[in-house]
């Protein structure tokens, strides 16, 4: 299956897809660095505020209903990153977070079947069950050696991403990148209000007043990486690839995100995974790949896999094109999710 997919992609575009997946995998390290200085809820508001200002000034508003724009921003922008950042701040390893966030793929499939009455193929059901089994292995091992709460929070982030995918699919934008960028307008104000109420003005003020010191340099570099590389560059390239190829051809490249995330976290942060977690990771990736593939004999079934990415990009993501578009992130696929972090 993988060989047949690669035959359709030019070497240049294959390299670009791998580059985006690599950027999104490294993005989890950037998030980890930012969380060392900024409170998690305020960091969500800050990362989107930095992006929202130039977007409002320079990017035309997408031609979608306001409710779907708000729904996409609330799911993909607020819920995903609130729970992801809270989970990582509570002790979720960056590498493992890049894997667990892939749960947005089976979540998207199940929610689309339940809420949008999408039909599931046998292969998708098998992929979901396989991915869930892998996540169960990871969660069980985590519960033996550390608190389970960070895993649960990250799973809730994946669920938020899945709801964002459904809003993206319902929006059916003619210019997907515009929607992906304008989504950043939704989180800043509500997240700032929540951060002030929960984390307090004093803690937020301290993080801002010391933001340009030497000690805060890694956090600022991480924030810049998340906005410029993870979101703008990653989402832009991924959207172009999704417009050029079928989603079933591009989406599997998002499975490189947790591979890169766990590998770079092991090298840079010296994170070590238990053997059972590595087995669970392989099972999750296999399940997501199986669920995103299509049988050659089956009729077309709407794609439901998330794009990578965070942005672990903004979109890990959804395949936002209309159903009648044969062209072609977890964020990660029926409505496709792209993995962005």
User: pLDDT digits over 218-274, tens only?
Assistant: 999 999 999 999 999 988 898 888 778 876 677 778 878 888 998 899 899 998 878
Higher model confidence: residue 63 or residue 298? Answer: 63
Please list the residues that pair with 339 across neighbouring strands. 316
Q: How is residue 279 written in tokens?
A: 């087995």
User: pLDDT digits over 262-290, tens only?
Assistant: 889 989 999 887 888 889 888 888 887 78
Q: Provide the pLDDT for residue 307.
A: 44
Domain boundaries, given as residue ranges, for the chain: 2-339
Average pLDDT over the chain, rounded to an integer: 83
What DSSP designation does 337 have? B
| pLDDT above 60: residue 340 | no
Contact 254, 248 (CB under 8 A): no
Would you call 40 helix, strand, or coil by DSSP?
helix
What does each C-alpha distance from 64 to 76, 153, 169, 179 come to in angstroms? 16, 30, 11, 8
């Amino acid at each position: 299956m993988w060989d047949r997919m690669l035959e359709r992609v030019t070497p240049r575009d294959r390299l670009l897809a791998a580059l985006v997946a690599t950027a999104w995998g490294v993005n989890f390290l950037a998030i980890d660095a930012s969380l060392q200085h900024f409170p998690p809820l305020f960091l969500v508001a800050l990362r989107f505020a930095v992006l929202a200002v130039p977007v409002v000034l320079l990017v035309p508003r997408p031609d979608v209903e306001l409710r779907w724009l708000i729904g996409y921003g609330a799911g993909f922008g607020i819920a995903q990153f609130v729970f992801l950042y809270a989970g990582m701040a509570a002790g979720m390893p960056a590498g493992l977070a890049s894997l667990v966030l892939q749960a947005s793929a089976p979540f998207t499939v199940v929610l689309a079947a339940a809420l949008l009455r999408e039909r599931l193929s046998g292969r998708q059901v098998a992929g979901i069950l396989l991915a869930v089994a892998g996540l169960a292995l990871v969660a069980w091992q985590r519960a033996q050696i550390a608190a389970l709460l960070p895993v649960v929070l990250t799973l809730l982030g994946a669920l938020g991403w899945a709801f964002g995918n459904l809003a993206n699919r319902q929006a059916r934008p003619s210019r997907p990148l515009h929607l992906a960028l304008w989504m950043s307008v939704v989180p800043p104000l509500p997240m700032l209000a929540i951060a002030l109420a929960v984390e307090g003005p004093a803690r937020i003020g301290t993080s801002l007043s010391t933001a340009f010191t030497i000690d805060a340099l890694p956090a600022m570099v991480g924030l810049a990486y998340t906005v410029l590389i993870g979101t703008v560059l990653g989402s832009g390239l991924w959207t172009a690839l999704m417009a050029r190829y079928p989603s079933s051809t591009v989406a599997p490249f998002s499975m490189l995100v947790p591979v890169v995330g766990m590998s770079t976290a092991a090298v840079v942060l010296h994170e070590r995974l238990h053997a059972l977690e590595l087995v669970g990771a392989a099972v999750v990736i296999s399940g997501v790949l199986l669920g995103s593939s299509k049988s050659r004999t089956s009729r077309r079934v709407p794609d439901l896999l998330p794009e990578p990415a965070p942005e672990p990009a903004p979109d890990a993501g959804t395949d936002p094109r209309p159903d009648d578009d044969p062209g072609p992130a977890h964020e990660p696929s029926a409505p496709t999710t792209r993995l962005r972090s």
